[in-house]
Structure 1
Amino acid sequence: AAVTMVVALSGCATSAISPKEASPTPGDRLFGLQSPPSGAHGNLVVTRDEGFMGGGCNTLINIDGKRVGEIASGEVATFYVAEGRHIIGAEVDEALCPDVLKEREFTVQGGETRKYRISIDATGSMDLSPTAQ
C-alpha cells in the first residue's frame, strides 16, 4: 500500500522542462525588467515546471522586492537585471493554493545569464532553485 501511495503521489509532482521547450509567458503577465537597463546587465531566465501539481495557480515573480511577472505551469520568462547582487522571489498568493514565498540571492555579471527553476513536489511544496537548463 505504501509503494502504491508513493507511486501515485510522484505522478502529481511537476516535471522539469527546458526553457527552449517551455511556452513564453504572455506579455500581459510580465510587469517589469523587460528591457535591458543602461550599463552592464545580465539576464535572469525563470522556468516553471510543467505538470498537474499547482497547475491551477500562477507563481508571482519578484526581483528585489518588486513584482515583475506572473508565470504559469510550463512557462518561461526572461528578465534583464543590472550587474550586481539581487534577490529573486517566487510567491503563490491565491485562495485555492498554499500561501508560499521562496527567495534566493544571486549575483550577475555583465552579459551573464542566470537560470532558475520553480518546481512543486507531490506534497505541494514549492521550490526555487538554480538550474543548468
Structure 2
Amino acid sequence: MKRLSIVCIAAALAACSNTPVPTDQAKEVSGTQLLTTAYSKAAEDTGRVIIKRDAGQMGSLCNLYVFVDGKPLAKLYPEEKVTVHLAPGRHILSADPRGACPGGMSEQTADIVKGSTQVFRGSFTSAGDFNLLPTAF
C-alpha cells in the first residue's frame, strides 16, 4: 500500500512538470507582449539569444517577464519565445514569473559572441521552482 501511494504521488507530480518546446515550434512574441524593440534588429556585429518558455500546466497561470541587463524585454506565455540580438560581451538575462505561480526570479549570464546563437528556457519544476537555464532543446 505504501508503494502504491508513492507511485501515485510521483505520477501526480510528473503530470505537473513542464516539457521543453523545440525552438522552431515556439511562437515568437509580438505586439504588446514585446516590451521593447531595442534588440529586435539583427546586425553584422551581434549575437542572437532566444529565450523560450516550456509547455505544461505548472506555472500556466502566471506571466513570465524577461529582462536583458535589467531592462524589460518581453512577457512570455507557455510555448512562446523572444529572439534578441545583442552586442558582443557579457549580458545578464533575467526571467521573473509573476501572478498565481510558484518560484521567483532566475538569472543567467550570457557571453555573446558575434554571429553566435544561444538558447535559454524558462521552466517550472514539479517542486514549484523556476529556472532560466541554457538548453539544447
Q: TM-score, normalised by structure 2?
A: 0.89
Q: Which residue of 1 aligns with 2:81?
A: 76
* Aligned partners of 2:26 and 2:79 also within 8 Å: yes
Q: Deviations over 1:5-49 (max 9, x none)?
A: 011111101111111111222332112221236x62111101110
Contact persistence 1:47–1:75 (CA under 8 A): yes
Q: Does 1:130 align with 2:137?
A: no
Which residue identity does 2:19 align to in structure 1?
A: S
> Partners in 2 of 1:52 and 1:93 — Cα distance?
15
The equivalent of 2:52 in structure 1 is 47
**Residues 52-131 of structure 1 aligned to structure 2 (within 5 Å):** 52-94=57-99, 96-98=100-102, 100-131=104-135
1:35 to 13, 37, 41: 41
> Unpaired runs of 5+ in structure 1?
none
String of CA shifts for 1:57-98, please: whole Å, max 9, x gaps. 11000110111111111111101111111000010132x223
In structure 2, stretches of 5+ residues that fail to align are none
Overall identity of the aligned pairs, in %: 29
Normalising by the residue count of structure 1, what TM-score does the alignment of the two structures yield?
Answer: 0.91
Give the aligned residue type for 2:14: S
Q: Hey, what does 2:6 align to over in structure 1?
A: 2
Q: Compute the displacement of 1:3 (Å).
A: 1.3
Q: What is the CA–CA distance in structure 2 between the aligned matches of 1:50 and 1:60, rounded to whole Å?
A: 16
Are the equivalent residues in 2 in contact too, given 1:49–1:74 (CA < 8 A)?
Answer: yes
Question: Cα RMSD over matched residues?
Answer: 1.4
Work out the number of aligned pairs and report it. Answer: 131
CA contact (8 A) 2:102 2:130 kept: no
